[in-house]
Amino acid sequence: MLWNSFLLALREIRRNLLRSFLTTLGIVIGVSAVITMVTLGNGATQAVKNQVASLGSNLLQIRSGQRMFGPPGSGARAPAFELADVAAIQERISGLAAVAPEISRTATVVSSANNWSTSVTGSSNDFLLAGNWQLAAGREFSKAELDGGQSVCIIGETIRRELFGTRQPLGESMRVKNFSCEIIGILVSKGQATMGRDQDEIVLMPIHTVQRRLSGNRDVSSIQVSVQNEGDIDRVKNELTQLLRERRRLEKGEDDNFNVQDTRQIAETLSGTTQILTTLLGAVASVSLLVGGIGIMNIMLVSVTERTREIGIRLAIGALEREVLLQFLIEAVVLAMLGGLIGIVLATLASVGLAGVMQVPYSFNLGINVLAFVFSAGIGILFGFMPAKRAARLDPIEALRHE
């Protein structure tokens, strides 16, 4: 009986091809939207993780406050680091390749007619080491420049291009906010990072310079620590925590007011945002799937009314109530599943295309495809049931009289 109903449903769908297609359109769009959103979102998450992982697994990042994305204020209450903390780390913990203090401020940089608003980072030469930066031209900061907080900077490729075009500006000056700064080095391009963030948009200065000229205080907002030996990472993490607790005078039992994250944790923190975004977009898209379901119900109700006479014929011929019910239900489900299949195909095409444009990796996500398909079939059952029930309940005499 089930197979028969399936055949009948297919025959009906074929008989009304245009309407069938329009009916499924909502589901097609819904399914493809959900799958595309989730696939691209996962791609973006993966891209962030890849990018962080490319920094190497021997990097630790220390920030003040408990979490990177804690509630507003929680980070502010925790005291910032000082350069003395950096010195203490270098002194007391062994096996470190680089310890780079970091502070950054937004500023407009100007050269002749060109200007560019960017973030200016204050650090030491260890920043280049920890971040795996190479110099394309020029040199690192000298000890005198670092200690004296002189106005010198090392710039990334994007800054060079935007301010100087094709020129090689080594030794020239550019204006940062209200002071002039000599360019002593240019970094090798790292290229576009994922989601449009440009890694080459960087202006690096001695930390004293930024503190004195831009931030106006002696705070260090974060510290990057590069460990020589990957195996030491847990030991270093523990020692860092211990040392910083001591220096920040935390009592036993008191929570850390800073955090030490390795690259895996950094990746997770960063990808947290994209994951939330993915979930959100997926949820929005699934609303369209629901709307598609309502579209199916709508058309099925119209179809039942329009085919009242036909239902009357079927009933007169001896169709059982449940056979008519099943026929319409299966029709709705088959329509929904067809929509789901078309949606999957569209989503795959769209995902591959958009992943290329957005420069995120594409990976076929079996889970979401199966889920979307099953969900669309479920929607067919849910929204097909009411019209089907109505069809099955028709009085054959009334139905035959229907014009």
Q: Which residues are near other proteins by CB under 8 A?
A: 1, 4, 7-8, 11, 15-16, 309-310, 312-323, 396-397, 400
- Mention every residue, 6+ apart, whose C-beta is less than 8 A from residue 144: 150
Amino acid at 357: V
Reported in sequence order, the residue ranges of 217-336 that DSSP labels E, i.e. its strands, are 222-227, 258-262
Q: In the 8-state DSSP scheme, what is residue 165?
A: T
Quickly count: other Cβ atoms within 10 Å of residue 130's Cβ: 27
Closer residue to other proteins, CB minimum distance, 147 or 321: 321
Cα of 207 vs its chain's centroid, Å: 31
Q: Are 30 and 376 in contact (CB under 8 A)?
A: yes
Query: What residues does 224 pair with on adjacent strands?
Result: 61, 100
Closer residue to other proteins, CB minimum distance, 97 or 313: 313
- Give the integer Cα–Cα distance in Å for 203 and 246: 33
Q: What is the dihedral of CA 42, 45, 49, 51, to 10 degrees?
A: 110
- Give the integer Cα–Cα distance in Å for 293 and 112: 60
Smallest distance, other proteins to C-beta of residue 396, A: 5
Smallest distance, other proteins to C-beta of residue 35, A: 34
Smallest distance, other proteins to C-beta of residue 281, A: 41
Closer residue to other proteins, CB minimum distance, 12 or 200: 12
Smallest distance, other proteins to C-beta of residue 391, A: 14
Closer residue to other proteins, CB minimum distance, 313 or 346: 313
For 28, 64, 364, 365, 376, the CA distances from 344, given in Å and listed in that order, are 8, 45, 11, 11, 11
Smallest distance, other proteins to C-beta of residue 16, A: 8
Smallest distance, other proteins to C-beta of residue 299, A: 17
- Give the integer Cα–Cα distance in Å for 189 and 283: 38
Smallest distance, other proteins to C-beta of residue 316, A: 5
Closer residue to other proteins, CB minimum distance, 170 or 313: 313
- Give the integer Cα–Cα distance in Å for 80 and 209: 18
For 28, 136, 168, the CA distances from 140, given in Å and listed in that order, are 57, 11, 17
Smallest distance, other proteins to C-beta of residue 322, A: 8
- Give the integer Cα–Cα distance in Å for 182 and 189: 20
Closer residue to other proteins, CB minimum distance, 8 or 337: 8
Smallest distance, other proteins to C-beta of residue 13, A: 12
Closer residue to other proteins, CB minimum distance, 22 or 291: 22
Nearest Cα to Cα of residue 81 among 56, 58, 106, 99: 99
Closer residue to other proteins, CB minimum distance, 15 or 249: 15
Q: Which two tokens stand for residue 5?
A: 């109903």
Closer residue to other proteins, CB minimum distance, 147 or 398: 398
